[in-house]
Amino acid sequence: MSKTYLVAGALALAIAGGAAWISRGAVNLPPSLSVAAEAQEATASSDVAAAPDMILGKLDAPVEVIEYASFTCPHCARFHETVFDDLRKNYIDTGKVKFVYREVYFDKFGLWAGMVARCGGPEKYFPISDIIYDTQKQWIGDGQANTIADNLRKIGLKAGLTKEAIDACLNDNEKAKAMVASYQANATKDGIDSTPSFVIDGQKYSNMSYEDFAKILDEKLAN
């Protein structure tokens, strides 16, 4: 997805916020355009600190990989289907790579998915994210807000969260605001204009195959 969608998506989140009450749990997202304005101005603020990066691997691994991706992006789902498992097995789990995952929000549905993924804390984040990507077409379904909210709740329940915890997470406006602020601050700093995008030891890369990824990592590990 392109930069146009990155910018428009963040704005749409705020515009749609006022009408974001969803039945059977009342998902209430940030209610006004002021949220987008505050998010655009955020840098290393308390809002950003309230939505920390999700990390896999050794914190002091020799190479750092940051992925920027959206839970509603088909290309991101494809990357996680075809590349990520091998990347994790061969580089992250072996201590060679510190992997940082940063969410990008094109729409309110991607934000909701992120809120559910974060609901179980860091220890459940990646298992829930795996389900979200593996079943992306299914939970998006007919694209209707009620359908998507209910499907995301089912994913949370499948991951072992309680209904009460899921509803509390999906109604946490302050967390939603912090997540949007963190996304905008980080994506602006790193010049992200498409998803999935990667920052490997400070250098930005676009989507790629496992073979290309491994070649870049091996070159950096050799230096």
Q: What is the CATH number of the domain that holds 77?
A: 3.40.30.10
Q: Average pLDDT for residues 26-46, to the nearest whole number?
A: 43
pLDDT band at 216 (very low <50, low <70, confident <90, very high): very high
Q: Average pLDDT for residues 139-152, to the nearest whole number?
A: 93
Residues 163-198: tens digit of each pLDDT = 999 999 998 888 888 898 899 889 999 999 899 999
Percent of the chain whose pLDDT exceeds 70: 78
Domain membership flag for residue 189: yes
Contacts 24+ apart (CB under 8 A), 202-208: 207/75, 207/79, 208/83
- Residue-level pLDDT at 50: 77
- Residue-level pLDDT at 1: 57
- Residue-level pLDDT at 132: 98
Domain membership flag for residue 17: yes
Domain membership flag for residue 156: yes
Domain membership flag for residue 42: yes
- Residue-level pLDDT at 17: 43
Q: Average pLDDT for residues 42-53, to the nearest whole number?
A: 65
Domain membership flag for residue 219: no
- Residue-level pLDDT at 26: 39
Mean pLDDT taken over the chain: 84
Answering whether pTM is above 0.85, one says: no
Dump the DSSP string for the chain: --HHHHHHHHHHHHHHHTT---TTT------STHHHHHHHH-SSSHHHHTSPPEEES-TT-SEEEEEEE-TT-HHHHHHHHHTHHHHIIIIITTTSEEEEEEE--SSHHHHHHHHHHHTT-HHHHHHHHHHHHHTHHHHHTT--HHHHHHHHHHHHHHTT--HHHHHHHHT-HHHHHHHHHHHHHHHHHHT--SSSEEEETTEEE----HHHHHHHHHHHHH-
> Is pLDDT above 60 for 118?
yes
Domain membership flag for residue 184: yes
Domain membership flag for residue 57: yes
Domain membership flag for residue 72: yes
Residues 191-205: tens digit of each pLDDT = 998 999 999 999 999
- 162, with CB counted inside 10 A (0-12, 13-18, 19+), is exposed
Q: What residue numbers bound the domain in which 202 lies?
A: 3-214
The total of structural domains in the chain comes to: 1
> Is pLDDT above 90 for 222?
yes
